[in-house]
C-alpha cells in the first residue's frame, strides 16, 4: 500500500507578513476606490435631482403662462420639450398635440413629433 510522505512545509514569518501586508494594501485600495466611486455617483444623483427640480419649476411657470394665453403655441411646445426632458413622453405628446392644433404647420413642433414617434 502506498503512503504519502510526511513533508511539512514551513512558511517563514517574513513571507507571511509580506503576504498579509499586501492583502491589507489591496483591501485598503479597494475600499478607497469604492468610496470614491460612491461619492461620484452620489454627486451625479444630486446633479440630476437639481436638474429635475429646475425643470419641474419651469413646467409650473409655463403651465401658468399657457393657462393665461390659451393660443400660445410656443408655450405648449416648451412644455412638450420640458416633459420630454423629464422622460414623460405621454405628457410631451399631449402638449405637442396642443401645439399642432394651434398651428399645424409649426416646423419645430413637427421636428419634435418625429422624435417622439420613436418613444
> Domain extents for the chain?
13-116
49: left (phi over 0), alpha (psi -120 to 50) or beta: alpha
pTM, full prediction:
0.70
How large is the average pLDDT for residues 106-115?
A: 93
Q: Are 98 and 72 in contact (CB under 8 A)?
A: no
How large is the average pLDDT for residues 13-27?
A: 90
How large is the average pLDDT for residues 23-42?
A: 96
Confidence of residue 119 (pLDDT cuts 50, 70, 90): low
Instruction: Write out pLDDT tens, residues 71-105.
Output: 999 999 999 999 999 999 999 999 999 999 999 99
Choices 3.40.50.1170, 1.25.40.10, 1.10.10.10, 2.60.40.10: CATH for 13-116: 1.25.40.10
**Residue 70 reports pLDDT greater than 70:** yes
CA 18 to chain CA centroid, Å, is 43
Amino acid at each position: 500500500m502506498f503512503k504519502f510522505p510526511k513533508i511539512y512545509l514551513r512558511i517563514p514569518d517574513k513571507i507571511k507578513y509580506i503576504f498579509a501586508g499586501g492583502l491589507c494594501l489591496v483591501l485598503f485600495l479597494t475600499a478607497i476606490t469604492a468610496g470614491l466611486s460612491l461619492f461620484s455617483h452620489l454627486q451625479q444623483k444630486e446633479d440630476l435631482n437639481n436638474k429635475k427640480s429646475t425643470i419641474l419649476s419651469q413646467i409650473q411657470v409655463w403651465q401658468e403662462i399657457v393657462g393665461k394665453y390659451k393660443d400660445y403655441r410656443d408655450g405648449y411646445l416648451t412644455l412638450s420639450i420640458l416633459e420630454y426632458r423629464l422622460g414623460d413622453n405621454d405628457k410631451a405628446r399631449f402638449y405637442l398635440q396642443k401645439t399642432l392644433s394651434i398651428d399645424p404647420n409649426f416646423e419645430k413642433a413637427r421636428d419634435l413629433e418625429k422624435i417622439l414617434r420613436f418613444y
